[in-house]
Homo-oligomer: A and B are copies of this chain.
């Protein structure tokens, strides 16, 4: 049995997973801010999961967490919305629980979970539409990091040189079009769910909201296109906070992809609108992926030298 925890800014969602894929137990609890609160939350969530189980055989615990993760060292840095500057999670959790602990960026963990849940062998990207926009890429059943860990950072492709300024310093990044944070800033409303407010106002005919809604859909479509024209994954699984609006998001993204295809036989040949899959809101993919971290070594690109040398 392996435990996987999705540690977010407001909550921890966790599962205990049998080796055959069966989910044996769930847990959901609030997250505190700061390193100590995060570690306490992780240990408490793991404890709650073990308490639910007869089988005591815990083989590993995996943590998916937003921020810059050094998976080999098992630490996270710049986990801004957790109030964490740097935290050696794996070392601490291993010492406390006596089992191997693996740490991964939450989007990459979710990608691994999404691929495991699909379980059809296809190379996929998990496109996370949340406050920010990023993708995790799974090839050969493993997380694709790339040479320096920036694989899947499609949120920072520039698609409009005259677009809104992005937090990254560029203008017109995909994230400025379809990132929840950027949309909320552009909208300026102070609601609980700014993107929902935007969609509601657009439905009511508000011109600014209609323009932002168009940005959301064409931004997501651009991210899908970018993933197929670079890595060429077979399927793009779309998840993240905005999938709470999936009933309104999915048709909009499909319409945007079809509108692009209508102008371009090249795009039509890619059949992009048949290659996206929306996750239901609160799908536990990140926790599932975190549970798998102990059994799936990440794909760090390395050359099979002899293939060339014996060429």
Contacts and interface: CB of A to CB of B under 8 A. Distances in A.
Interface in A234-286: 234, 260, 263-267, 270
Interface string A294-311: 011000011111011111
30 contacts: A2-B311, A19-B311, A115-B303, A116-B311, A119-B308, A121-B302, A121-B305, A123-B301, A140-B302, A140-B307, A142-B304, A145-B232, A146-B231, A149-B232, A150-B228, A150-B270, A153-B232, A154-B230, A156-B266, A157-B230, A158-B222, A168-B264, A168-B265, A170-B260, A170-B263, A226-B226, A234-B301, A292-B308, A295-B310, A296-B308
Q: Chain A: interface residue count, which band?
A: 35 or more
A168 B307 contact: no
A227 interface: yes
A151 interface: yes
Given A116-B308, A169-B264, A311-B116, A303 B227 contact: no
A140 B144 CA distance: 12
A207 interface: no
A230 B141 contact: no
A161 interface: yes
